Amino acid sequence: MTRLPEGRVLTDPDVIDSYARDRTFLEPGKALGVVLAASREDVVTTLRWASENRVPVVPRGAGTGLAGGATAGDGAVVLSLARMTAIRELSPADEFAVVEPGVITADLDRAAREHGLMYAPDPSSYEISTIGGNLATNAGGLRCVKYGVTRDSVLGLEVVLADGRVLETGRRTVKGVTGYDLTGLFVGSEGTLGVITAATVRLRRAPQAPPATFAAEFGSLRDAAAAVSAIIAAGCQPSLMELLDRATLKAIDDWRNIGLEDTTSAMLIGQSDVADGQAVAERMQELCEANGASFVAVSSTPEETEDLIGIRRMAYQAKERLGACLVEDVCVPRSVLPDMISAVEAAAARHEVQICTVAHAGDGNLHPVFIFERGLAEPPPNVWAAADEVFREALKLGGTLTGEHGVGLLKKRWLALESGPVSEELQHGIKAVFDPLGILNPGKAI
């Protein structure tokens, strides 16, 4: 790797190990080294060298992934893109930005808001996750119920292919159907087809007034899920709709003392960012009360709104305090959300596993987190059995194994249940076209 500028390559074993893992419990292999790419040219040089020497390359952003997608195997080079932090262009007139993969998601949103715009995708890790990582997994976030996932905000990409060639996909226009949709193909491909070095992303008009927010408490998860269905059916079009179960709320309460009531089994947090958002929030309040809510409050100040959203954003850190976490993210049609929640509760009871669940309830995306003893090399058999039951039930209800975290390493054992042999054959064929030597994040995604 002597072709790279001085300081770009790290070889200290302890430092390599810190770059070779993500936020999962998975133990990485022994990687060869780490490349700290600062430019597209660094990525080109790295991939040309890797192709010539048949060395696997694992692209990495901030390491906040929850599926093992950035976990390095033996003999791999970790290609860190965290130093590529330039917002190359921001056009208020055309409502787009061109950003490098190391840009922190929240930083892009803040830059857009200086022009009355916003970057819509906002995963819970938005203050630490990077645009590149969001692109790799097609991340969603709290606002995805209204604004969609990352793919819905991507217009074009700059990608370095496995052999070092540079590919430009997409365009700067909102519309365009010339050729196959290569942009959509790369978003969510988990670094297995190429390394994204820039993205042209769509910005949207920021709401002119602070969103109106409500929080509702329920005696059962199923009642909360029924309220979600009622809100969607009533055409309220919330900009955020998050559900937290009692196990999650208790973990947050034990950590930050949020005043959890003994009778509260679930909390629903919703938001409307339209011009008459207060009226919409009050209508959602009525629907919650009609579906069994024991208490509903609508925020009256931006500070109250931040406090409510802060509860949701604390969820994962609170659960990490309980033990090691197997974090999943099944997604089902919204109409069967109550059935999916009941299935998660049944799996927890049947296999005697602690499961803490939050959900982007407005689009049916659940995050059941399976808690197990810290220090174990992997989850014990009863945890895997409970996860298997949850995945199979999601598929039976017409859902999917992953809504936004990606397949990585953790979900590969279930892929065949959803994909089927024809899809698998085609996906492996696509992989072979873009990465004939199989060096890009091998073993992930497919």
Domains of the chain by range and CATH?
A: 9-80 (3.30.43.10), 87-205 (3.30.465.10), 212-396 (3.40.462.40)
The whole-number average pLDDT for the span 303-315 is 89
What pLDDT does residue 432 have?
A: 98
Do the beta carbons of residue 353 and residue 383 sit within 8 Å? Answer: yes
- Express each pLDDT in 387-396 by its tens digit: 999 999 999 9
Query: Which pLDDT score is estimated for 1?
Result: 58
Q: Mean per-residue pLDDT for 242-259? A: 95
pTM of the model: 0.94
Look at residue 2 in the predicted model and tell me its pLDDT.
58
Could you give the C-alpha distances from 151 to 77, 201, 202, 419, in angstroms and in order? 27, 9, 10, 20
Higher-scoring residue by pLDDT: 196, 316: 196
- pLDDT confidence tier of residue 254, bands split at 50, 70 and 90: very high
Instruction: Identify the residue with better confidence: 81 or 363.
Output: 81
H helix intervals, 95-199: 105-113, 131-137, 144-147, 182-186
Q: Tokens 């409500």: give the residue.
A: 214
**What is the average pLDDT across 118-141?**
95
Question: Measuring CA to CA, which residue among 128, 131, 149 is closest to residue 59?
Answer: 131
Helix (H) or strand (E) holding 433: helix 415-434
Are the beta carbons of 332 and 397 closer than 8 angstroms?
Answer: yes
Tell me what percent of the residues of the chain surpass a pLDDT of 90.
Answer: 90
Distance, CA of 373 to CA of 360 (rounded, Å): 27
Half-sphere exposure of 53 toward its Cβ, with a 13 Å CA cutoff? 14
CA distances 64 to 19, 73, 137, Å, are: 11, 18, 11
CA angle, 292 then 293 then 298, to 5°: 145
Q: Which residue is listed with tokens 């929640």?
A: 341
| Token digits of residue 377 | 């090399």
Residues 6+ apart with CB under 8 A from 329: 66, 365, 366, 367, 402, 403, 404, 405
Average pLDDT rounded to a whole number, residues 199-226? 94
